[in-house]
Amino acid sequence: MNAIAPVETVIRITESAAAQIKHLTAMDPANAGKHLRIYVEQGGCSGMQYGMVFDEVRPDDHQVEMFDLIVLVDPFSGGHLRGSTVDFQDTLNASGFKVINPNARQSCGCGKSFEA
């Protein structure tokens, strides 16, 4: 299994992010049958912010398949996330999902918002 599985040209998920997504799915029965949606919306301290939620498939979604998972990205978010990598870190200095976005001109120190 590759460390990073390319999916279309929209987004990549690392193996550690996939493991955490599977863990979160297993921990909450309300997530059964749903997929992780990664999205971008206006807000945050830099103008745009990332969000993640377990959700149902919508007709216009990009469906990114890797590591036995399906990750959903809506068309608007796909334009901002194209070429990004989602990783999960659990260290003393950082814990949580991290989006490495080549389209961001500037990112906030919180790591959850960016300037497009």
pLDDT for residue 8: 47
Beta-strand pair 113-115/106-107: antiparallel
Mean pLDDT of the chain: 83
30-72 confidence digits (pLDDT tens) = 998 899 999 998 876 657 888 999 999 999 999 999 999 999 9
User: What is the CATH classification number for the domain harbouring 25?
Assistant: 2.60.300.12
For the chain, how many structural domains are there in total? 1
In order of 1, 71, 77, 93, 99, the CA distances from 37 in angstroms are: 23, 6, 10, 26, 13
pLDDT for residue 1: 46
**pLDDT category, 109, cuts 50, 70, 90?**
low
- Whether pTM exceeds 0.95: no
For residue 70, give its domain range: 4-115
Give the ranges where 1-116 is alpha helix by DSSP (H): 15-27, 75-81
Q: Would you tell me how many other CB atoms lie within 10 Å of the CB of residue 75?
A: 11
Distance spanning both ends of the chain, measured CA to CA: 33
